[in-house]
Structure 1
Amino acid sequence: MHELTRRELGAGILAGIAFPFPAHAATVIDVRTHGARGDGKAIDSTAINAAIAAAASRPGGGTVLVPAGRYRCFSIRLRSRVTLSLAKGAVIEAAEGLGYDMPEDIEQLYQDFGHSHWRNSLIWGDDVQDVAIVGSGMIHGVGLTRDGPGARWKAQTGERPLSMRGMSAQDIGKLEPDAAAMRGRGNKAIALKNGRNIHLSGFAMLKCGHFAILATGTQGLTIRDLSIDTDRDGIDLDCVRDVVVERCRVNTPNDDAIVVKASYALGRNVAAENIVVRNCAVSGFDLGTMLDGMRGTTQLLAPDRDRPTGRIKLGTESNGGYRNILIEDCSFTHCRGLALETVDGGVMENVVARRLTMQDVTTAPIFLRLGDRRRGPTGTAIGAIRGVHLSQIVATGIDHRYAAGIAGLPDHPIEDVSLTDIRLSYRGGGTAGDAARRPEEHAAAYPEPSMFGVLPAWGLWMRQARGMRIDGLELSTTTPDARPPFVSEDVADVHVTRTPLWRS
């Protein structure tokens, strides 16, 4: 085995790559010295895993270099104190067929198969620390599946969006095969469980299965300068703390782009906390057309039968709750808007979203929902939403059916929400019949703006809320709309300033 030093590589293949762990750069191991071919034909995961093991055996760790080439792989196993460096022109390709590590043998009661397993992935790390994946190469999930079984929770109310009610059992079965069908298959690109001090930066990801990145119980995670164009979820941050996601482009027409969750996947309630998402761009363009620059908009519906997804969201899995979340300086294009949801007993508090721009919003620009799904162990209570502050949000081209919505529950109102300097421009077209609608509670339903149908207001609809502060809200439509701009039901302690119209 030949180990390359930084001196040997000089200004060559590692030039311009930032190493988050400088000690790893002292030893560089080229995967080709362990037999990797990178010819797009051979299976190279055995060689890459051998290089990772060799780097991990060094006292200060090391860097595993993947030079230009196409490396077909099954599961790649991350180890502590190793940086995986993807050179320009390097592609790690998920091999097709069976050959991925087996999913963990755990009881998956309160979240679906994808959230409950990590090892059946293209790249995975369990309880690793001081790990990085860097460089300008690509991870291409050609052989990954986006599908997997749903939760085994017996009370199936709220398992799927109401927009899927018309789908046949056969159609649902295609999206949710049973667990036996998943053995040997890979269903995510990068999976991290209980990791510490992990950096992901610089590379692109294409068509990455159920998740491009799933981080569960991870602390000290930095995700920076990634370009992700994938067929389901982009970046999922589940039960994490001390996380920064910045300068990422994430295109996900079929599911959420950047999402914070607090599921029961670790077998206990764990809050997602101290998270910053900033300077990111999310979208719902046709799959692959963000990376190639075409930005297509031919896809009309996501698999849930609503319009393309691609947003930033808190939820849906929310057992442990969320606190201290900052979302700032992000753009949303041809996708759903900001969604802040807790329906599984967790408390959402101290959430700030500011300086957001949205164009061609496919459902609601802002959606806050406190629900009563309670997908969790016996004794799970109704959660709470309080201390949410939204400011300097500009959204245009909004689907007329979906006003900004804030919806709590009877005796469980959403509390202490401020809307400051927000401009929303809708397409208009609502009717007098729409204005007469009184949406059902749907307390146990899966939270989604479409759950309430066409709303009776075209600008802002609030129900079961207390302590609302609205300052500088500007609403407009490009065509006439017969509904009032505002409707509120069971809302108290509302303070409105610098807002020209208020009707309830």
Structure 2
Amino acid sequence: MNRLNVRDFGAAGDGGTLDTAAIQAAIDAATPGDIVFLPSGHYLSFTLALRSHVHVSLEAGCVLEAADPARHDGRYEAAEPNPFDLYQDFGHSHWRNSLIHAIGVEDVSISGPGLIDGRGLTREGPGSRWRKQAGEFPLSMQGLSAAEMAELSPEVSAMAGLGNKAIALCRARGVRLQDFTILRGGHFAVLATGVDDLVIENLLIDSNRDGIDIDGCRRVTVRGCRVNTPNDDAIVLKSSFALGARCATEDVVIENCQVSGFDAGTLYDGTRGRIQMFSPDRDRVTGRIKIGTESSGDFRRIRINGCTFERSRGLALETVDGGTIEDVVASNLTMREITTAPIFLRLGARLRAPEGAAPGAIRNIIIRDVTAEGILPDYAALIMGLPAHPIEDVTLDNVRLVYDGGGAAADVARQSLELEDAYPEPSMFGRTPAYGLWARHVRGLTLKGFSVTTTTPDARPQTLFEDVTLG
């Protein structure tokens, strides 16, 4: 094993010189087992491609900054063609347009304790090219102007030369990301698609959109990470059609992680700001752990344990594109300042998938040993299936929810539509007619040690069950 210093290949590390070619030369010169290291310094770069059996070390005092095509002489690698880009957003459909990509490789790692600063990346990207378009955006965005929507979802042509991911992994095996920090990661700080045997450990991510996205991956561990993403999800499992097949996400462990929606950059600087109140979708700040929304494939054997949610939306399990979510255990969760529903299970029928897709399933879900406090009163915990496709076998065991209260009696009589093809968010049903738990179209709901209280009176009932069979 050799250690290759990028400065020996011409990297200046002065924050002004483009070091792309020098860093890539070091990576390309490495032999299996070698470590390419970036010593203390400020390295400015466009796209870097990892190679099999090569390990990158971001050493103490190292800053790897994503260059900006508007300010620096260069461009990011072009987004590769993808004939399967109809069914998921642009960001999910491409990997090369990133600061670092690892495509078709095995046995690679990036380790810390340095910093990746995605200053020159964009957080925006077009939506999918799916013709139906139902459920493409949350209902909370219906009031946005055409100009606002164009800014949030630009045309594909506007992405030319831009990078929108800090790290993109695709069809890889044996990947480890450990101990470093990502600030301003673009659309995705980490996007892993079709990756087997992935370990993400002890990262600090403070980003302007998604944190860690795991899409169609197997045997994944996300451990000890702190992820702050007020504008989108912090740690999210997906199963899109980006690789041209219904690729399951399975055997995933998320443990001892902290997710939050503090002001962007303020987890990193330690101030934990609370000025920003809403995400770009016009709901409250995000920063949660979620399964979905991209869900054409299945999710199996997921374990979420020992995690903390703070100033964020709650735990969400959503399948709306035909996939099945099954055998999920979420345990030992602590939630504070929850901005929407603390628990949200949604089986829908958006069906953003190839022709012939049918509604999937949610079954065999255990959520236990959960304490959530400071929950805004708008949305109860929600378990929402469809009339012909009920959610099955859900257990809430030792779950304690403490709401702020203040709900009005007028909310009890309000009727809510099924909204089967809408984008899934707790706000889709409006202010809920119960303050603690609302379940609809569920077979086998078991409540053990389920407790709901409010800090101020609430005129709504604590629970509402519609077409529910209790276990």
**Structure 1 counterpart of 2:155:** 178
| Partner amino acid, structure 2, of 1:51 | A
Deviation at 1:437, TM superposition (A): 1.7
- Note the C-alpha offset of 1:403: 0.4
Offset, 1:215: 0.1
- Letter of the structure 2 residue corresponding to residue 99 of structure 1: R
Provide Cα deviations, 1:237-290, integer angstroms capped at 9, x if missing partner: 000000000000000000000000000000110100000000000000000000
CA distance in 1, matches of 2:33, 2:401: 51
Q: Secondary structure at the match of 2:456?
A: coil
For 2:78, which of 102, 105, 110 is the aligned residue? 102
- Which of 50, 61, 76 is the equivalent residue of 2:25? 50
- The equivalent of 1:281 in structure 2 is 258
CA offsets per residue over residues 287-309 of structure 1, 9 Å max, x none?
A: 00001110001001100000000
Which amino acid counterpart does residue 71 of structure 1 have in structure 2?
Y
Deviation string, structure 1 residues 340-369 (Cα, Å, up to 9, x no partner): 000000011000000000000000000000
Determine the structure 2 residue equivalent to 1:490.
467
Out of 324, 336, 348, the residue aligned to residue 301 of structure 2 is 324
- Give the C-alpha shift of residue 440 in structure 1: 1.1
Aligned counterpart in structure 1 of residue 115 of structure 2, from 117, 135, 138: 138
Q: Does 1:62 align with 2:34?
A: yes
Q: Distance in 1 between matches of 2:368 and 2:195?
A: 29
Letter in 1 for 2:134: T
The answer as to 2:5 corresponding to 1:30 is yes
Q: C-alpha distance in 2, partners of 1:475/1:181?
A: 48
**Alpha-carbon distance in 1 for matches of 2:42, 2:435:** 51
- The secondary structure found in structure 2 opposite 1:421 is strand
Q: Indicate whether 1:84 and 2:61 are aligned.
A: no
Cα distance in 2, alignment partners of residues 352 and 439 from structure 1: 29
**Aligned match of 1:40:** 15
Using the TM superposition, give the Cα deviation of residue 434 of structure 1 relative to its aligned residue in structure 2, in angstroms. 0.7
TM-score under structure 2 normalisation?
0.98
Distance 1:302 1:49 in 2: 36
SS of alignment partner, residue 457 of structure 1: coil
* Candidates 234, 247, 254, aligned match of 1:257: 234
Q: Which moved more, 1:169-178 or 1:210-219?
A: 169-178
- Structure 1 residue 436, shift from structure 2 partner: 1.3
Larger gyration radius, structure 1 or structure 2? 1
Q: Which amino acid aligns with 2:165?
A: K
Q: Does 1:126 align with 2:98?
A: no
In the alignment, the residues of structure 1 paired with residue 109 and residue 91 of structure 2 have an alpha-carbon distance, to the nearest angstrom, of 23
Match of 1:212 among 182, 189, 192: 189
The residue identity in structure 2 corresponding to 1:236 is D
- Contact 2:112/2:181 (<8 A) preserved: no
| 1:61, distance to aligned residue in structure 2 (A) | 3.1
* More moved, 106-115 vs 189-198: 106-115
| Residue number among 199, 214, 219 corresponding to 2:176 in the alignment | 199
User: Counterparts of 1:456 and 1:180 in 2: how far apart (Å)?
Assistant: 45
Unaligned segments of structure 1, at least 5 residues: 1-25, 496-504
Q: Residues of 2 paired with 1:99 and 1:69: CA distance? A: 22
Supply the distance in 2 between the matched residues of 1:47 and 1:363 (Cα, whole angstroms): 47
The residue type paired with residue 307 of structure 1 is R
**Counterpart secondary structure, 1:484:** coil
Q: Deviations over 1:30-53 (max 9, x none)?
A: 000100010000000110000000
Query: TM-score normalized by structure 1?
Result: 0.92
Deviations 1:352-391 (A, max 9, x none): 0000000000000000000000000000111000000000
Partner of 1:81, secondary structure, is: coil
SS in 1 for 2:27: helix
The answer for the alignment partner of 2:210 in structure 1 is: 233
Aligned-pair identity in percent equals 56
- What is the alpha-carbon distance in structure 1 between the residues aligned to residue 414 and residue 468 of structure 2? 18
Letter in structure 2 aligned against 1:322: F
- C-alpha distance in 2, partners of 1:54/1:221? 25
Residue of 350, 354, 364 corresponding to 1:373: 350
1:387 aligns with 2:364: yes
Shift of 1:321: 1.4
Look up the match of 1:403: 380
> For the residues of structure 1 that align with 2:97 and 2:20, how far apart are their CA atoms?
14
For the pair 1:155 / 2:127, whether they are aligned, the reply is: no
**Partner SS for 1:215:** strand
Structure 1 distance, partners of 2:193, 2:419, is: 29
What is residue 116 of structure 1 aligned with on the other side?
93
Distance 2:277 2:231 in 1: 10
Give the whole-Å Cα distance in 2 for the aligned partners of 1:82 and 1:445: 44
How far residue 439 of structure 1 moved from its aligned partner, in angstroms, is 1.4
Report SS of the residue matched to 1:348: strand
CA distance in 1, matches of 2:148, 2:431: 26
Tell me what 1:16 maps to: none
Q: Distance in 1 between matches of 2:342 and 2:415?
A: 20
Matches within 5 A, 1:460-471: 460-471=437-448
3-state SS of paired residue (1:101): coil
What amino acid does structure 2 have at the position aligned with 1:93?
A: E
Deviation per CA, 1:299-326, whole angstroms, max 9, x where unpaired?
Answer: 0110000000000000000001100000
Structure 2, unpaired ranges of 5+ = none
Query: Equivalents in 1 of 2:355, 2:138: separation in Å?
Result: 23
* 2:307 match: secondary structure: strand
Q: Say how many residue pairs are matched.
A: 466
